[in-house]
Amino acid sequence: VITSGGVTYHDQPWHKECFVCAGCKTQLSGQRFISKDEYPYCVDCFSKLYAKKCAACKKPITALGGAKFISFEERQWHGECFNCAKCSVSLVGQGFLTQQDDVLCHECGSAS
């Protein structure tokens, strides 16, 4: 019986001490979490287990809080990491060229 302080998840009541991350078992009541296959995960566990990694910085891309990311072919980048491999200018919203695994602005790509 839940007498106070319960949590509702997928229209089901939970004791707040029973509503835990499917990975590390940390209590999730009152903190951000991400659902995957009907299970709740803390942001850290979700990032380690399921999030795609940025092609530039190799850190997970969670897109929490409306964070923007760029996806091209099989790779993804954080918005702030999507830069020319030579001159580091931001390529967000810009045309770009590819050279092996690098993305380049038109100026650097044309000079190659």
Token pair for residue 27? Answer: 């209590």
The ranges assigned to domains in the chain are 4-48, 51-111
* Average pLDDT score over the chain: 88
Express as a percent the part of the chain with pLDDT over 70: 94
φ, ψ at 22 (rounded to 5°): -65, -20
Q: What single-letter amino acid sits at 32?
A: R
pLDDT tens string 14-53: 888 899 999 999 999 888 888 889 899 998 999 889 888 9
Closest CA to 43 of 29, 58, 64: 64
Class at the top of the CATH hierarchy for domain 4-48: mainly beta
Residue corresponding to tokens 């050279």? 99
DSSP string, 80-107: GG-B-TTT--B-TTS--EEETTEEE-HH
The architecture CATH gives domain 51-111 = Ribbon (2.10)
Provide the whole-model pTM: 0.65
Q: DSSP label at 5?
A: S
DSSP string, 8-51: EETTEEEETTT-B-TTT--B-TTS-EEEETTEEEEHHHHHHHTP
